[in-house]
Amino acid sequence: MKAVLLRATGRPNVLGVSELPEPVPGAGEVRVRLAYASINYAEILSRKGLYAWAPQRPYILGMEGAGVIDEVGDGVDPTRVGSEVMVGTQYGCYAEKVVVPVERAIPAIESFTMEENAAFPVNYMTAWVALAELARVEKGDKLIVTAAAGGVGTAAVQLAAGLGCEVYGLVGSREKLDLVRSLGAREALSYRDSDCFERLRALSGGVDVVLETVGGSVFRESQSLLNPFGRIVVAGFAGLDLKRWNPLSWWRTWRDLPRAKVGDLAEASTGVMATHLGYLLDEPARLQAIFERLRAFVAEVGIKPVVGKIFPFEDVAEAHAFVESRASVGKVLLRHGRGPD
């Protein structure tokens, strides 16, 4: 089968498609023939050698995708062969076939296309866990989403708007503003504009919740807009730019890493929280229950994932460069062949 084996870290051109043996499902596992693999920012970091949760190299990149179960291992209901699923896992999805424990092959959402299913699990679970499980947003809460046109960002804007929050989306370029407004944000602003946070303060009068994935000044300025009892949930720091051989970048990374002093939090009566979905994979029952709440909410509100661009599987290096360039919106996918059968 065709797969992208990460042997060395570096620029996008370290990624190439090679021919590998098909994996065989063991007890309690299923094999999925993937129609799409999804690109997650964590895989950009893994490729650069900067992702703490990555397994030992060499390994097949890819945390997510969607396709059809084509073989099951011992102890798995054989009637599941042929069923459409989305997959969420730690690695292995930049491939034509992936083997996962049966509980990580989640039945596809019928009202979604296969592309939308591939774009769903990581972004929507991340946003939902941050908003509903950690920050516990309520109707009427004012909320900032940073990198609001990206994968997690578009999901968060849709979910928060659906929950009845007043959403302010922040992005890195003006081309993305209209998309964020179209997803339900009250207003969208670019943090490249020098008066962005001043305008945001005037527009919102302070906020109750921030979902933050950029770091640096975006984290600090957003946090400063929290009202008493407000919470900032850190789910990533895409703005950090650590280059191993550049000591100045170590200093910048240290400066830009989100951090908080408890004394300052006490004075403002605010909180800082953080989440990483990966660590929840060891709690399948809890994840399952959260996923079912999310699935029901998405159906109730009628949310559809934003698929920004689809690349042929062989163009994986171009797809990584595109996401890294900050030009992408929503989810970027890799397609096998001509797509689903």
Would you call the peptide bond into 58 cis, given omega within 30 degrees of 0 as the criterion? yes
- Which is closer to ligand NAP, CB of 229 or CB of 254? 254
Stretch that binds ligand NAP, among 53-61, 121-129, 204-212, 256-264 (CB under 6 A): 121-129
Distance CA 128, CA 8 (A): 34
334: contact with ligand NAP by CB under 6 A: no
Does 235 engage in binding with ligand NAP (CB under 6 A)? Answer: yes
Q: Could you tell me if 170 and 191 are in contact, meaning their C-beta atoms sit under 8 angstroms apart? A: yes
Q: Among the candidate windows 18-26, 83-91, 101-109, 322-330, which touches ligand NAP by CB under 6 A?
A: 322-330
Site for ligand NAP in 11-50 (CB under 6 A): 40-42
Q: How far apart are CA 313 and CA 317, in angstroms?
A: 9
Q: Does 158 bind ligand NAP (CB under 6 A)?
A: no
In the shown chain, the binding pattern of residues 73 to 112 toward ligand NAP, with x for contact by CB under 6 A and - for none, equals ----------------------------------------
- State the nearest-atom distance from the C-beta of 341 to ligand NAP, in Å: 27
CA distance 75 to 28: 6
User: In terms of CB distance, is 104 or 176 closer to ligand NAP?
Assistant: 176
The reply to whether 333 sits near ligand NAP by the rule CB under 6 A is no
* Length reported for the chain: 341
- Tell me if 195 sits within 8 A of 189, measured CB to CB: no
Rg of the Cα trace of the chain? 20
If you search the block for the tokens 């073989």, which residue do you land on?
A: 71
Residue 295 CB contacts under 8 Å (≥ 6 apart), including other chains: 109
Tell me: does residue 326 bind ligand NAP (CB under 6 A): yes
- Count the residues of the shown chain that bind ligand NAP, applying the rule CB under 6 A: 31
Q: How far apart are CA 86 and CA 108, in angstroms?
A: 6
Name beta bridge partners: 164: none
Residue of 276, 295, 304, 309 that binds ligand NAP (CB under 6 A): 276
Which residue among 88, 172, 258, 305 contacts ligand NAP (CB under 6 A)? Answer: 172
Chain CA centroid to CA 268, Å: 30
Determine, following the binding rule CB under 6 A, whether residue 152 of this chain makes contact with ligand NAP: yes
Instruction: Kindly tell me which of 68 and 130 has the beta carbon lying closer to ligand NAP.
Output: 130
